[in-house]
Amino acid sequence: MAGTSSRNSEVIHSGIYYPQSSLKAELCIEGRKLLYKYLAENKVAHRNCGKLVVAVNESEIAALMELQANGIRNGVSDLEILSGAECKKLAPEVKAVMGMLVPSTGIMDTHGLMRAMKIEFEANDGFLLFDSEVCEIKRIDEKYLVTFTNGEQFLAATLINAAGLECEKIASLAGIDTAATGLKLHWCKAEYYKTSERFCFDKLIYPMPDPTGMYLGIHLTLNIAGEVRFGPSAYYVHELDYAMDESHKQEFIDSVTQYLNIDTEKLHPDDTGIRPKLQAAGEGFRDFYIKEESSKYLSGFINLMGIESPGLTSCLAIARYTADIIASLN
Ligand SMILES: Cc1cc2nc3c(=O)[nH]c(=O)nc-3n(C[C@H](O)[C@H](O)[C@H](O)COP(=O)(O)OP(=O)(O)OC[C@H]3O[C@@H](n4cnc5c(N)ncnc54)[C@H](O)[C@@H]3O)c2cc1C
């Protein structure tokens, strides 16, 4: 459990950002509802704290209104537009001319979620192999012979590629030409800074998102312990290196101070993460790719690629969607 699921913002997203009818929109909204229920039933720490998206000047107001309209198109009906004065009342330290309250957003303990799923999976006779790397996939009699680096092998009629940052490698091992089929993966790094500063509000604070959909903007998140973090930043990388690069710190501070006055002395490097994106630098929106690959002569191979944010919020809906694909094969 050391992949992207361990290195993220731990936010339960509402589903306002993604184009109508996209998998990201539909699975996020379905997944959010399923996730709140699952977290409660399995006693995993979480809090439906809500978030405030802020427009910091007049020029951002049209985009904020469009974000509300998009959320409503997607079925998020409880969005509330607030004046600058109302934003101040809710979060006195925030600089905003207008804001949008998103009540369905929340935070969760992602490690607690993974632990709960592991227990449930194993209780239902699931078998998990840790520290084992798939290095070869061969087609044998309409099945897949999967070989691990330690020599262990499994034969499976159905194979799901859910390898996160390495999903392109697994797709290639299965025989897919990822470049020719538009499935090249791009790694996009994220950095977080923690602050010891305390604020008077208990909501997450988000700026207006990046217009290309590359990321949601460097926002303020709270974790279950009540700690305040800023992040994540976004820049494309060619290596899976989680080291913090503090040369981006000023850029980071400049983004945050647009919507919040902070004491930069209290800002300390925190975690980093890497996004598995199908969207290349400079490209527009790319959806989750979840498909059974019969059309590529790989029947029974179910390919999950580009499972970036809102992947955690969507996880139970992605599982439901994948299970439906498997059921349709039989
Ligand atoms: C910075 C950042 C912030 C995010 N914030 C949020 C958020 O607030 N809310 C939200 O909903 N989503 C968020 N996400 C997205 C979310 O974290 C991911 O969508 C989700 O965790 C992906 O889960 P996964 O299981 O697909 O991938 P992973 O968690 O990466 O799991 C993939 C697994 O495959 C294994 N694997 C890889 N290659 C092989 C191989 N060859 N053989 C065997 N195993 C292999 C890995 O070891 C790993 O265990 C964020 C992502 C990032 C990067």
Q: From ligand 1's centre to the CA of 275, what distance in Å?
A: 8
The total of other beta-carbon atoms located within 10 Å of residue 314's CB is 28
Q: What is the pLDDT of residues 291-311, one digit of tens each?
A: 999 999 999 999 999 999 999
Q: Measured from the CA of 10, which atom of ligand 1 is nearest? A: 8
Q: Which residues have any ligand 1 atom within 6 Å of their CB?
A: 3-5, 8-11, 13, 133-134, 162-166, 170, 190, 232, 273-275, 307-313
Domains and CATH numbers, the chain: 126-184+290-314+322-329 (3.50.50.60)
Residue that is written with structure tokens 């390898």 in the block: 163
Task: Find the distance separating the first CA and the last CA of the chain, reported in whole Å.
Answer: 31
Say if residues 256 and 194 touch (Cβ distance below 8 Å). no
Ligand 1, residue 314: give the atom nearest the CA: 11
Ligand 1 atom nearest 5 alpha carbon: 21
User: Can you read off the two tokens belonging to residue 220?
Assistant: 């303020």
Two structure tokens written together for 260:
């919040």
Q: Determine how β-strand 204-206 pairs with β-strand 51-55.
A: parallel
Give the whole-angstrom CA distance, residue 36 versus residue 311: 15
**Angstrom distance (rounded) from CA 20 to CA 73:** 6
Q: How far is the CA of 153 from the centre of ligand 1 (A)?
A: 24
Pairing outcome for strands 298-305 and 219-222: unpaired
Q: Please state, in angstroms and rounded to a whole number, the distance separating the CA atoms of residues 169 and 31.
A: 27
d(CA 213, CA 210): 5
pLDDT of residue 112: 98
Q: Is the pTM of this model over 0.95?
A: yes
Q: Which 8-state DSSP code applies to residue 133?
A: -
C-alpha of residue 4 to centroid of ligand 1, in Å: 3
Nearest ligand 1 atom to the CA of 1 is 49
Q: Which of 1, 8, 49, 121 should be mutated for ligand 1, with most atoms under 8 A from CB?
A: 8
Q: What is the pLDDT of residues 143-200, one digit of tens each?
A: 999 999 999 999 999 999 999 999 999 999 999 999 999 999 999 999 999 999 999 8
**CA 262 / ligand 1 centre spacing (Å):** 31
How many whole angstroms from 201 Cα to the centroid of ligand 1?
Answer: 30
User: Which of ligand 1's atoms lies nearest the C-alpha of 169?
Assistant: 41
Q: Which residues pair with 269 in a beta bridge?
A: 193
Low-confidence residues in the chain, pLDDT < 50 = none
Element (H, E) at 147: strand 143-148
pLDDT of residue 33: 98
Coil vs helix vs strand at 137: strand
Q: List the 11-12 sheet strands across, edge first.
A: 11-12, 106-108, 46-47
